[in-house]
Amino acid sequence: MRANTWAGRNKVKVRDVPDPRIMNERDAIVRITSTAICGSDLHLVDGYVPTMQNGDVMGHEFMGEVIEVGRGVDPGRLRVGDRVVVPFPIACGACGACAAELYSCCENSNPNAGIAEKMFGHPVAGIFGYSHLTGGFAGGQAQYARVPFADVGPLKIESDLTDEQVLFLSDILPTGYMGADMCDIQSTDVVAVWGAGPVGQFAMDSARVLGAAKVIAIDKEPYRLQMAERAGYTPVNFEEVDVRSRLLELTGGRGPDKCIDAVGLEATHGSAALYAYDRVKQAVRSETERPHALRQAILS
């Protein structure tokens, strides 16, 4: 198959690589229909994350059709022909962390957890396409992918929503949702979001879904601010105005009640983002409780 691979610092290459195969009875093979590039992939390309090897298949945001399953996969959870979004952490579903719905801390999916602990300060779950620190699993920027513990992580899509509308459930929507969820938003809150890129846009949408009274988008790129404004948020261009003064002006001198950093620079990119998928089930539950609101957030 063809896949996008790491070829050294600041270099990637599309190459022919071996097709994935079932290696464990709880594996599944997914034919990729859509995949994406995450801002976190730039950390790999730029050389900030060690243990990448020449030829590693990249990508941790993908979805597709299940074409093969191992004999240990629960048929009540996953079958051949299912359309699925595959979240980036790999979780066994049986350890203490998974029982607590802390899937990104899975104790069984990362064979290199000890090495990861030295890098991050704590062990982490396996992650698709994200270095050998997180298990060396091949990613989803490819034609096919092997998905371990396939009856735990993949989210079945049984609606008429397109790939473009649900692919975000693999990573970016839960990341933005987590930022808003951690704010404990109240109905009277003014929420300011620094960074109006993809994660910032979803953080704004999530803040709205969670009941914020007003959402402010802070960025310098006109197209991002225009997108936020079309969605009903108040744009602030930090190259044109003093942000602090403008925020005080917009809030009657009080300042925002809650703030979300969605910039994603190396200096601010802490380990909390790793746990974003742990909020995806909350987002899915919210869809059951507030289907129209969350769907609108996804489509905005």
Summarize pLDDT for 91-103 with one digit per residue, the tens. Answer: 999 999 999 999 9
Q: Which of residues 136, 169, 202 is at a domain's end?
A: 169
Q: What's the domain range around 271?
A: 173-299
Percent of the chain with pLDDT over 70: 88
> What pLDDT is stored for residue 293 in this prediction?
46
Angle between helical axes of 280-289 and 172-181 (0-180°, round to 10): 80
Q: What is the pLDDT of residue 21?
A: 97
Same domain as 82, residue 22: yes
Count of other CB atoms within 10 angstroms of residue 266: 9
Structure confidence by residue, pLDDT tens digits, 19-64:
999 999 999 999 999 999 998 898 899 888 899 999 999 999 999 9
Helices (H) and strands (E) in the chain, counts: 10, 13
Q: Are residues 127 and 211 in the same domain?
A: no
Over 50: is that where the pLDDT of 115 sits?
A: yes
The mean-pLDDT minimum among 53-57, 156-160, 285-289 falls in 285-289
User: CA 26, CA 100: separation in Å to the nearest integer?
Assistant: 21
Q: What would the mean pLDDT of 230-238 be, rounded to a whole number? A: 97
Tell whether 20 and 74 lie within a shared domain: yes
Among residues 145, 169, 193, which one ends one of the domains? 169
Domain count within the chain: 2
273, 87, 288, 287: which is closest to 205 by C-alpha? 287
132 with 7, same domain? yes
Q: How far apart are CA 66 and CA 42, in angstroms?
A: 28
Q: Specify whether 16 is located in the same domain as 85.
A: yes
Are 260 and 207 in contact by the 8 Å Cβ rule? The answer is: yes
User: Is the per-residue pLDDT at 297 higher than 70?
Assistant: no
- CATH number at 41 reads 3.90.180.10
Q: Residue 298 in contact with residue 193, Cβ under 8 Å?
A: no
**Whether 158 and 188 share a structural domain:** no
Look at residues 120, 143, 169 and tell me which one is the last residue of a structural domain: 169
CA 266 to chain centre: 17
Read off the CATH number of the domain in which 189 is found.
3.40.50.720
Quick one: 100 exposed, middle or buried, by C-beta within 10 A (0-12, 13-18, 19+)?
Answer: exposed
Look up residue 83 and give its two tokens: 């359309």
Mean pLDDT of the chain: 90
SS3 content of the chain, % helix, strand, coil (to 5): 35, 20, 45
Helical ranges in 126-197 per DSSP H:
163-166, 172-181
83 with 182, same domain: the answer is: no
Domain check: are 249 and 123 in the same one? no
Tokens of 34: 């859509």
Is residue 266 pLDDT above 60, yes or no? no
DSSP at 234: E
What are all long-range contacts of 288-293, with beta carbons under 8 Å and residues at least 24 apart?
Answer: 290/209, 293/208, 293/209
Question: Based on the domain organization, do 161 and 208 belong to the same domain?
Answer: no
Q: Return the DSSP state at 297.
A: H
Mark whether 100 and 237 lie in a shared domain: no
Is residue 37 located within the same domain as residue 59?
Answer: yes
What pLDDT is attached to residue 265? 63
d(CA 228, CA 219): 10
Residues 134 and 15 both lie in one domain? yes
